[in-house]
Structure 1
């Protein structure tokens, strides 16, 4: 009996966030590594798992089990940038490739399997192709429907046509909570009701599921039974829902493209809402100044909202503009089109028609910020993010308004030599000179000590200030060079406390920060 779900092939690159992070930071494959979000593991390498590291584990527990663990933060743009090479490699063999998320691509099976001599042969060719062209390992799964094919890829299984429900039945109910699906609460409720496998959940009638779990539960029930995630009848999107924008000068920077993506996503989503539709497959099509055409289809388990559209456009530009030299566009992008390749009946994605006074004020402020960016550029309005690092300047990163405010490096990770954060961090640290009681400038000895006690400090050529108290020095690694840091309290009303730093290969101190 047919499930109504299309025959689908999914190619999955295991632990992709870790693979991409290691590639970005040139971490060798023999080092255990993990990606953390909110101080918990979201992905880890096979070597880390061998030492007992698991998803959801706290950082402290993970590092206690694997002391040499390399720690990374979540960075979707990095994952998308490195995954573009995998998508291009797959596209050389099969047409109709759709990126589900970085690490997973899906494609129809029937045509390609017939051309290459069967599904098993197609799967084998794709694994070899990705290994040869992108240099990464992957697994392939084939089943009826995207959900089942993704689970099959995790198990490197080729499920026979019509056997998808039997394949899914013994699987743990927790596999329903796939990334982006947000079914954690539903899964927890099903487990507490004693429904611990997909087969047990699928055995319920649709009426029972709708009355107890609502529309979201009904979609999960369809997946558990091996049916299509949505009813097979979809509305054909009207052609006027395509959003096209020309650029002069051409787009050649990711930050500018990200800003344009936000404005285009707003218009794109407004058009869909007016027709009562929601997008489930987004086409991102670009044309460069020399006529080169680039396209990518993003397939989504859940209907996209405005932020989801903007995110996928930004991720795609990361892949195009920062990919390998062979895959980068040969000129700037002069035209960008967002196409709703597939839509379903829309559902409310807003929190409500009438917000609180604070929500309305926040919305007006956000509109004002975007207006300023439109006049002066995306970097004209920025917000600070506390980042990881040893020096004060490293630990504050300015992010353009509207971008995700996530640390590039984990602030809570161990940063040897890190000092308390000063109240003021100077964008351009002013130079300083430090003298001992005899008026001789201080030196750093071969043992990394001061040649004498600090007695006076001159900042940026100004008057000398007497040192009331001091602490240090401390040696800290800064990039590829060593630095010495020194804290001094200067006489005056009020007294000033400064954080001074000096590279070992440079004679001048600088003022990294001032404590309030």
Structure 2
């Protein structure tokens, strides 16, 4: 059994964002917090939290969209430094986390503790004093141990993993089933007979069972690449520009995925090799793949690598510089058993979301889980339609517009089902009124919203008129209102409606 080391830089997406120290920052992806700084974490922001909740806990939060290209480019100098000074080879699991064989380097440097110290020293010299280094018998366990900088003795990986919940294995359907069977921990799952797991739960569960037992998820007999699936593109003249290289990487990745899919195999790693022009030098970087990286994800990583190489002068310049040949090579090939989760299982498939919604509906009723669709209308309450999850909206769609008087973006975060009463007064405590000519009786000074307290007004916009169904013969069917946006000194912003001289709070921004 081999030994594996993993090096982890905490909150790498935040580090790559290059935000000044002391600023609360969150890197978001798909509307959720992917990583956050220590300042934001102290304010209550957590990984996986929805963005609106995070902003409510930390109003000063600086939000940054995730940029894989920037993360890869920022990680490359550290990887190259460690590969040059300490390690012979390594593979990147994701920007901020890599794994490498540990037995050879540990023997060279005098042991695993000495190897860890060398890595920490080299990382500190590169400006990364906070790193976690873990040792174990598998990549999965080493990456987990790196979070607490632990060295798991040889043969004790299964013991280390045993107390963790089965959800850490990244298979939600299997996790749910095992919990129903009374097997909530990795250790309890590992004690099941191997043949029973494969027969009862299928190939993905069998791979997870190997992980739970402290073994690599893929069998040791997995074929390495014979060159059959390697794809490459030559550049004449050699290419130094980032955009053409990225485009070529995307095309090569599409070709590689098509070949692997046709052969029903998947690679554990993807090796990117750049042959430099007029020299014998090659630039090589390996990424953990396991079927997770789409063609676009591969292109993003290649773009990050090329950006880092160009910035550091590795590619050279002029006629003697540039990349003459770009090669993508899969390694550690094994049978494809369907889409696999990322390390520690970070995503849910649409089928798993549907099953979860169906379970909630079975417990709480068909309308307990709804999806939102946007339609016609002027106000935020009118535009959003809530439809029970799984149902098709059979109502006649409202026309898209132009809807004069529709509120522009940004849209409010909270829309009240029953707008609470509000009082908007001037500096003398007199209610602010809106005339038929849309003129305010006085500048707003104080806003009181029922159930939300009183706050001084620091800014406003509007009013904007809305006159609907004016052609109706019955006055009760017609509607004439005006909307205003009000900002208070407590940082909250409100969307108010005035109708028949009465103010109500329709929505709350932020």
TM-score by length of 2: 0.62
- CA distance in 2: counterparts of 1:318 and 1:17, whole angstroms: 14
Deviating beyond 6 angstroms after TM superposition, the runs of 4 or more aligned structure 1 residues are: none
Mind listing any 5+ residue stretches in structure 2 that lack a counterpart? 341-406, 411-437, 439-460, 463-510
Deviations 1:383-412 (A, max 9, x none): xxxxxxxxxxxxxxxxxxxxxxxxxxxxxx
What is the CA-CA distance between 1:101 and the residue it aligns to?
Answer: 1.1
Which residue of 13, 32, 47 corresponds with 1:17? Answer: 13
- CA distance in 1: counterparts of 2:302 and 2:229, whole angstroms: 20
Which residue of 60, 73, 78 corresponds with 1:86? Answer: 78
CA 1:343–1:74 in structure 2 vs 1: closer, same or farther (change >3 Å)?
Answer: same
- CA distance in 2: counterparts of 1:239 and 1:58, whole angstroms: 44
Rg larger in structure: 2
Q: Does the CA contact (< 8 Å) of 1:258 and 1:310 recur in 2? A: no
Partner of 1:31: 23
- Which segment is superposed worse, 218-227 or 117-126? 218-227
Deviations 1:135-176 (A, max 9, x none): 352110000010111111111100111111111111232322
Partner of 1:339: 329
Q: Does the CA contact (< 8 Å) of 2:233 and 2:248 recur in 1? A: no
- Which segment is superposed worse, 103-112 or 63-72? 63-72
CA 1:78–1:186 in structure 2 vs 1: closer, same or farther (change >3 Å)?
Answer: farther
Partner of 1:147: 140
- Which segment is superposed worse, 168-177 or 140-149? 168-177
Q: What pairs up with 1:132-211 in 2 under 5 angstroms?
A: 132-135=125-128, 137-177=130-170, 183-211=171-199
Which residue of 8, 29, 32 corresponds with 2:4? Answer: 8
CA 1:60–1:192 in structure 2 vs 1: closer, same or farther (change >3 Å)?
Answer: farther
- CA distance in 1: counterparts of 2:66 and 2:193, whole angstroms: 40
Which residue of 25, 28, 53 corresponds with 1:61? Answer: 53
When the two structures are aligned, how many residues end up with a matched partner?
346
Q: Is 1:326 aligned to 2:312, yes or no?
A: yes
CA 1:299–1:40 in structure 2 vs 1: closer, same or farther (change >3 Å)?
Answer: closer
Which residue of 91, 102, 126 corresponds with 2:95? Answer: 102
Query: Could you say what secondary structure the match of 1:240 adopts?
Result: coil
What is the CA-CA distance between 1:250 and the residue it aligns to?
Answer: 3.3
Which residue of 308, 317, 321 corresponds with 2:303? Answer: 317
TM-score by length of 1: 0.61
- CA distance in 1: counterparts of 2:310 and 2:98, whole angstroms: 19
What is the CA-CA distance between 1:267 and the residue it aligns to?
Answer: 2.6
Q: Does the CA contact (< 8 Å) of 1:321 and 1:328 recur in 2? A: no
Q: Does the CA contact (< 8 Å) of 2:250 and 2:298 recur in 1? A: no
- CA distance in 1: counterparts of 2:269 and 2:38, whole angstroms: 32
Mind listing any 5+ residue stretches in structure 1 that lack a counterpart? 178-182, 351-418, 423-468, 470-484, 487-516
